[in-house]
Structure 1
Amino acid sequence: MIIPTEPIGSIPRPPALQQALSAHANGRLDDQELARFQQAAIADTMARLAELGCPVLVDGEQSKPSFLTYPLAGLAGLDPHGAVIPFADGHTRQLPRLTMGPFRYQAHAADYLRAAQRHTDRPVKQAVIAPSALSLLYPAEPIPAYTREEFLRDLADEAEADIRGCLDAGAHAVQLDFTEGRLSLKLDPSGGLLKDLVAVNNEVLGRFGRADRARLGVHTCPGGDQDSTHSLDVDYADLLPTLFELNVGNFYVQLAGEPDPERVLRVIAEHLRPDVRVFVGVTDPINPVVETAEEVRDRVLAAARHIPVDQLGTCDDCGFAPFADDTSTPREVAFAKIEARVRGTGLAAAALS
């Protein structure tokens, strides 16, 4: 028996790349020189994941500015003062605000994927930002000569192209990062905003056939930045029923950091469709303590009491460094947690056999 296990995405950047990013920001390093540091970090990341026995690799988002904003760098008509996302520890992240149309991606995830594939012949997964997150760029006041409806049509076309490009380039799986899903219930407890965000995503996902949707997935978490979250206090029971309406074949669900994982598993079991796989989080990137393989095994076995094994997978709760400047988790700790996930998932599969 094999239980699939996949990373979520980001890995902390090595110190050399962090220094290069700082030098580039200060004008002391040009784009070409920075790219060399990024490619070296990608090669190292993928080699180390392979050494740990990861069946599916990622590039660790070593060359992304963040999981959220990679399509936006260089886009005209952006005001930096958009929606503010507050985290529990008091720090914030701020989205830009769109001021003009048309909306077009300036970078595509398939380019990151192809750069990663040059370093391996193993399956490579690619994370993309969910169109629902980028829908938040449009301001409350209408943009002159560019309606919200026009923006959403452009956004759907761009998001489809981003996903399709990864599938065509041979991605093992394409994961839509949907961290704003849980946050939306904090902003609008009625669930209306969540339904709107799911509708934005399903407009794009509905353009793919059944075979493609089997390679598509959605990741949900309460945020994970600088060892803090933005919506851990939102009840999963309010999110998951609507989340499972998304037209994908895979769900990556943060679980290890939950105060009551068994309750969450019961909710998942209640709303699980027969044609999907749920990858449950078995390592917590925010907790500095490295899980043992045996702890991971026990978490997988607990999940298997609620989710059919042929619909079960494992993952990390979140990315370890979703923004390039996040140095809260040491790189070595991230790899140690990933090793525990891989080994512990294998132990659970052996026990279930």
Structure 2
Amino acid sequence: MSLPTEPIGSIPRSPALLAGIADHAAGRIDKSSLDGLYDEALRDTIGTLESLGSPVVTDGEQTKPSFVTYPLAGLDNLAPDGAVIPFADGHTRQLPRLAAGPFRYAAHCGDYLRAARRHATVPVKQAVIAPSALSLLYPQDGIAGYSRDEFLDDLVDEAEADIRGALDAGAHTVQLDFTEGRLSIKLDPSGGVLESFVALNNRVLDRFTEVERARIGVHTCPGGDQDSTHSLDVDYTALLPHLFAIHAGVFYVQLASEPDPDRVLAAIATHLRPDQRVFVGVTDPIDPVVESPALVRDRVLRAAEHLPPDRLGTCDDCGFAPFGDDTSTSRDVAFAKVRARIEGTALASEALGT
């Protein structure tokens, strides 16, 4: 049996789709025309991943505005002036702010999954946003008549429904995107915010059975966007003990862009629990150079020096375009890196005799 390999999520949108989104926003095309472009992008993304030999595919997040804001589109109780996330190159992303309660999701990932499965002939994984990320929507000065505790209760209910809907719709795995974990250490070096994030995520995950949690994963990376990151300078080993305290069965860990992978792998080996599997990142979406299959193989074999092969898999470090308007990486480069990951993982499997 070969080592498992999975994509993280997003694939860059095509120029045709980006133009169509702009045309719809400007009123030049109707929603039906835009939906046609979305469906073609979805079909092409899944078809290309399958043609590369990907044993598991995603929808490439082609129809999401971003990996974090998909549950919010259309809500009328948001203000635009929420938390600001600064990136190393100076650009920022800003979340909305919840202006009034109650908090509800406007969209759930089960719908994305069902659309993807119409085009797929192999298992489909579904990325969802971690509840800890959406907890940042609540303002520090509170909301009159709607306490933070009430908000968190609603958020836990909505996050459970999002995950459960994807599992019930037949997801191979459900992946919680937890990029805010590493960022929280920069914002609060004491680790208090990170601990609160882990506790919140576990409130949700503890509503699932052990069998269900084996199909639920957590992805961590330093927040790639427009060829920059928000927390690559944060010591990974400050995050990892808390990461593996999350009650999930699978972890997708950015590693290819780490300057000292052996140090990170040693920490993973120390904290990985017996019931958990780790997928290590072997391609760097921010690096424009496409990895060779041989380089991917060597990265996997390095990981296997620290981790047993039967608990090891491979992935990309991050999605290639977590925000829909990110054009810093082309689709061609993204798919070339995916091919290298798949072929390099196969080479490593052969070398390990798995």
- After superposition, residues 296-311 of structure 1 pair within 5 angstroms as 296-311=296-311
Structure 2 equivalent of residue 225 of structure 1: 225
Cα distance in 2 for partners of 1:172, 1:318 equals: 19
Letter in 2 for 1:346: A
| Unaligned 5+ runs, structure 2 | none
2:263 alignment partner AA? R
The offset of 1:180, in angstroms, is 0.3
> How many angstroms apart in 1 are the aligned matches of 2:132 and 2:30?
33
CA RMSD of aligned residues (A): 0.6
Work out the CA distance in 2 between the residues paired with 1:122 and 1:237.
35
Deviation at 1:142, TM superposition (A): 1.5
Instruction: Tell me the distance in 2 between the aligned counterparts of 1:29 and 1:203.
Output: 43
- The one-letter code of the counterpart of 1:21 is I
The one-letter code of the counterpart of 1:180 is E
How far apart, CA to CA, are the structure 2 residues paired with 1:144 and 1:45? 45
Secondary structure at the counterpart of residue 127 of structure 2: strand
Task: Tell me the distance in 2 between the aligned counterparts of 1:24 and 1:329.
Answer: 23
Partners in 2 of 1:99 and 1:105 — Cα distance?
Answer: 15
Mapped partners of 2:331, 2:316: distance in 1: 15
Q: Structure 1: which 5+ runs fail to align?
A: none
Deviation at 1:151, TM superposition (A): 0.3
Q: How far off its partner does 1:24 sit?
A: 1.5
User: 1:45-68: per-residue Cα shift (whole Å, max 9, x none)?
Assistant: 000000000000111000000000
User: C-alpha distance in 2, partners of 1:215/1:280?
Assistant: 17
1:269-325 CA deviation, whole Å, 9 max, x = no partner? 111111100000000000000000000000000000001111000000000000110
Q: Which segments of structure 1 move beyond 6 Å, counting only runs of 4 or more?
A: none
- Give the equivalent residue in structure 1 for 2:293: 293
Report the 3-state secondary structure (helix = DSSP H, G, I; strand = E; otherwise coil) of the residue aligned with 1:314: strand
1:125-164 counterparts in 2 under 5 A? Answer: 125-164=125-164
Residue 71 (structure 2) aligns with: 71
- What is the match of residue 116 of structure 2? 116
Task: Please name the residue that 2:248 is paired with.
Answer: 248
Q: Find out whether 1:269 has 2:269 as its counterpart.
A: yes
Secondary structure of the corresponding residue to residue 71 of structure 1: helix
Instruction: Using the TM superposition, name which of 15-24 and 220-229 deviates more.
Output: 15-24
TM-score (norm 2): 0.99
Rounded to whole Å, the distance in 2 between the matches of 1:230 and 1:124 is 29
The Cα offsets for residues 224-276 of structure 1, whole Å up to 9 and x where unpaired, read as 00000000000011000011000000000000011111110011011111110
The one-letter amino acid of 1:344's match is G
Structure 1 residue 29: deviation in Å? 2.1
1:91-114 Cα shifts (integer Å, max 9, x gaps): 000000001011000001110000
SS of aligned partner of 2:313: strand
The amino acid of 1:97's aligned partner reads: R
Q: Distance in 1 between matches of 2:20 and 2:95?
A: 24
Scaled by the length of structure 1, the TM-score of the pair is: 0.99
Give the AA of the match of 2:256.
Answer: A
Distance 1:335 1:79 in 2: 37
What amino acid does structure 2 have at the position aligned with 1:245? A
- Distance in structure 1 (CA, Å) of the matches to 2:59 and 2:35: 14
Which residue number corresponds to residue 345 of structure 1? 345
2:50 maps to 1:50? yes
**Alpha-carbon deviation of 1:30?**
2.1
Secondary structure (helix, strand or coil) at the match of 2:176 reads strand
The equivalences for 1:29-108 within 5 A come to 29-108=29-108
